[in-house]
Structure 1
Amino acid sequence: MQHDEFIIQVSNRAPLSSRDHAELATRATLETLAEPLAGGEPFNASAQLPRGIAEYLRHQYAESGERFSLDEFFGRISQREGVELPDAVHHARVVIEVLSEAISSGEINDICSQLPSGLEPLFEASSQGQIRVNT
């Protein structure tokens, strides 16, 4: 998946008013997702993403192994994105859905195995084989 396709998918599925807003939602979600991961996982996952999108997983706090709740996960996204919490939750769901389509299922499994207790439900397969993102 190319950078533009990723952002267009986020923009269309959310739906968001602009490409810039879709980029911001993507950045806020992936930066937050990278924080609790460790062992090079953000870098492994980013290797399967287009440049630009990949950079959001490789920021200075990536791999910190910090533990936080699902509520805090969404709160951080809300703050980074500068939107109300319900909007941040929806945007994060969409970004994670697109991410799950952009990288291999093995990489998704690796990410899930490192998430703190309580964040695993972000990636849950539905009966159709698609990723269903929960709160």
Structure 2
Amino acid sequence: MSQIRLIAIRDTELSVDEVRAAVADPAAGGDVIFCGTVRDNDAARGVTGLSYSAHPSAEAELRRVAEAIVAKYPEVVALAAVHRVGDLAVGDLAVVVGVACPHRAEAFHACHAMIDELKASVPVWKHQRFTDGSDEWVGSA
């Protein structure tokens, strides 16, 4: 079985349980799940909601990032990452990443690297709407 168990860009609600189930493995003693959630503020400005847009290549790029993380961290037993697109409200899950490794430290390091590289490389853009009626685009997820 491949270490990369779930990769998706979706316009539907994300599930932490789905990601956790995808990385569950009897060889793993440490599972780390990262959840990125829409918050109600950014740089001291109130946020009412946001939307994510993705380039058609986003899912393939997400897979490429996952493959690079698995190559860099050979102790990864399982990895999953899903990112949402479309309109999201405060409190909605925007991204969920899961990594399973034999030990917790390895899982934390690999999960941290995965979310950082996803944000830096995957062509997903955020459009934030603020309580003062203004809005802004952010370069990548």
Higher strand fraction (1 or 2): 2
Structure with the greater relative contact order (CA < 8 A, sep ≥ 6): 1 or 2?
2
Higher helix fraction (1 or 2): 1
Structure index of larger Rg:
2
